[in-house]
Structure 1
Amino acid sequence: MALLLPLLVVFVAFASLTEGVGLLPDGLNAAVGETVMFTTTLTPTEKPFQSVNWSFNFSTAIIIVMNSENIIGPEYEGRITFFTSTASLELRSLTLDDTGEYAVNIIQDGKPHSGRATLVIYEKVSSVSVTSSSTDLVEFSGSVSLSCSASGSSLSFLWLNGSSEVTASDRVQLTDGGSSLTIITVTRSDQGPFRCRVSNPVSTGTSDPVNLSISYGPENINLILSPSQGCFAVGSDISLTCSVGSRPPAQFNWFLNGDQLLDTGSELRLMNVQMSQSGNYSCQAFNSKTLRSQTSQPSTITVLEKISAASVKPSTNLPVEGTSVNLTCEASGSVFTRNWMKDGSDLTPTDNMILSDNNRVLTFDTVNRKDNGEYFCQISNPVSSDGAKYIMIVNYGPENVQIKGPNEINIKDTLKLTCSAESTPSARFTWFLNGTEILNNSAEYIKEEVEFSDSANYTCQAWNNITERTSSSVVHELTVTDQPSGCAAGCIAGILITCCVIFTAAVGGGYYIYKKKFNKNPQKQNTEQEENMYENISITRK
């Protein structure tokens, strides 16, 4: 051992005359208590090296090998292992004091080799933790500082929000070598979890997560009406639901036409609604942490009575042509619209019609018979509909009075005169003979076995009991005659026609018999035919 220091001086001096390029790795890192291996790049050999010298910081001998004799420095007893085939060195039980420059000088077959390597010893990272200045914050109105601490040497710090790395920005500050994180004007995205990751070249450690409670809202308030229509029938059930973004959950108040209701909670249920509950509903959300509130847009609810008992009432039950008539469409309930139809088609008002009072009244300035028909009024609101009809019959006349019957009649014959008129309802008729009333309330005047004294002027007058109008009188002149008792002209004409028919038939029949009888003697047949023809002519002349 007494030779250790002089030999070291000799080897150091020798090393200064040689240069080892790539004999040892450039740099090594290791943790306290671990083992490091200095491996040379020499090819293993069974032939021993002539000499090997390992030193620390060029002043402390680790091991000297010469002539197969090993000399180990006292600080390294039991901590090293030397590998004779490659001159490599293993160093165990490392401490921070082992950080430094390691050198090896080798003589092999008379040729010198040397190498250097730097070893850095680190304490492993441990006890990583994070502390926060506050964990309960309000969005846009608070700041927070997070501090990371750890044991170990040569520490570097990295912050994580969830799985994303936190980097410096206008709102984020990293100080104290990265161990402190400050967030200014926090937002909900800053709620974490935050972790601190600490590392050095030999180890890494991560803290437990730290979560921040960021209160925000209320915002994006939304009022939903169910069912979604705005109009409801009396007795319906309605639900209004208010939703909002808020942390912690918002508190709710409800308003009708600006007046606060007693109901609270995110849902307002209206059961068996009445018309008095119509109006504009809104909800207001309040956050007790942020002390902020937000009110929804109003939702309009209209409660309507269903339409019933529809009717069409005329101003008169007996409309008369030329007079004014009103048809009034009425119903119980909440009436929104009225639509009129005539005979199954939409009503197109003509010049004599006027619709007024939101189509409630259909007025005929001067009703006429063309206005006859079925009138239908459809009454509607958004929750129901009903309708009623009225059949219009326009009373008119009498007019165009006519008398039908013979103008000449034989004595003792039966006389029948018929009077007609255009009229609704049917007209009533009165008969006059030479100005004197002879019959009332009958369309026919009948007299059996007329006499010469019945030759006269017969007058018919029509009367309408509804229109209370009387027609102009119509006069029918009648003459009673005394014709002979023999055949009249018509009778004689009938007899002549009958005789001609009988004669024609007789001639045809005789010719047929003659032809059949004399068929075998044409000459004889002709002679007899001529004789018969002259005979017939002679008979006819007689």
Structure 2
Amino acid sequence: MEESSVLLCKGCTLWQGLLLTASLLTFWHLSTTADVTIESLPPLVAEGENVLFLVHHLPENLTALAWFKGLTNMKQGIAMYTLHNNLSVTGPVHSGRETVYHNGSLLLENVTQKDTGYYTLRTYNRRAKILSTTSMYLQVHAFLWKCGRLATSAQTSIELVPPSVAEGGSVLLRIHNPPENIVGFVWFKGTTDFKNVVATHFISDRKSAVWGPAYSGRETLHSDGSLLLHSVTQRDRGLYTLRVLRTDMGKEETQVQLHVYTSLSLFCNPFTSSQLMIQPVPRYPAEGEGVLLQVHNLPEDLLTLVWYKSKFRTPVLKIVEYNRTINSISWAPAHRRGWMLNNNGSLMLQDVNEKDAGMYTLEVLNKDFNIEKAYVEFYVKKYVTQPFVRITDTTVTGGTSVIFTCISPDTDISIRWIFNNQNLQLTERMTLSPTKCGLRIDPVRNEDFGEYKCQISNRFSLKTSLPVFWPR
């Protein structure tokens, strides 16, 4: 086998030879290969943990590969690996915690926040020509909560409190079942367009919310992301969108439709106006019961109406379509056995479960070919189970820290902590996770010794864990 020109550098180290050859060739060769990808395992990393940069789709004709700290600085070499002789050579910034494998993957052990930054992998052929350059960013967190959901089927939802609001009143857009790995919240009045931003808030930023173009001066953003609207007017009605930003760079979005009634119509009957509206009856059905999505003010000149199990016009989530012209009803993929469409457009859902809960959309087309939409959301009544508390303690230089974790299989819950039979009063040494399922005390002092319990609740029930004691 021909000796790689990467290694043909007289009077210098193998790493310097790689740098010399690669830097000369990079002058006229800057192309990259999109096929090579890097995956971080685990995706979220905290101080003291190990992380593997798993490489996929390496070029077939490579003979050497090298890892660098940063994007373009060739002097920040971590390690080089030559495949033809299974030789590994450490670089200038190798800390003794890095290992390069024959498949290109890089293991970084016992990470610290100083390890945060970009990491770049380059592959070479036997002429030292660069075959690919691929980079990824590593974020090392000071602490990573291990409780709550990181990514489950349970979705973030919004509840209007109260469900009906009159002009001049206040309404809370309360968030339920947020993810645990939250970076921040963004509220939009309408769709996710910059001009519709009401407020932005990042968890790590102790400052108040940053208000956007759609801010009216009557909104208050709570620490849990919930949005309070004061002195509402007819201009406030419509769709509100919440975007939850996560530490894994992902995001979740959910929406709610706000109806604002005049004080007189609410006192008499909020459904006597001409606006198309939907009311769930009952609002909180139990699992196995039925719920009627009752339609009010259906236009008399309608041509067609369509129900969707969604807040969007999505064919796969279409339930039923009614065509008055030919007097036909056609059921679609999201229909379930036993569901019925009434003459007034109301939809009867039988034997509902948690998967049936959520937002429904009614779309009506009239004779002038104008489309009118209405939205409704309902929740399925579910009772919580008793949680339990897990204790994790660590002793480090400077003292002992302890983490209490409230363990529960339930989603869409609120959590509070009880210390010596009273609501826990947080101090500067205490940190709650975003959903409050985790409580960290660092460092622990004598006044923290005692009995701890967690209490979970949803809209329908409340349960308290058995007590645990610290020190154990």
Fold equivalence (TM over 0.5): no
Give the structure, 1 or 2, with the largest relative contact order (CA under 8 Å, sep 6 or more). 2
**Which structure shows the higher strand fraction?**
1
TM-score by length of 2: 0.31
TM-score, length-scaled by structure 1: 0.28
Identify, as 1 or 2, the structure richer in helix. Answer: 1
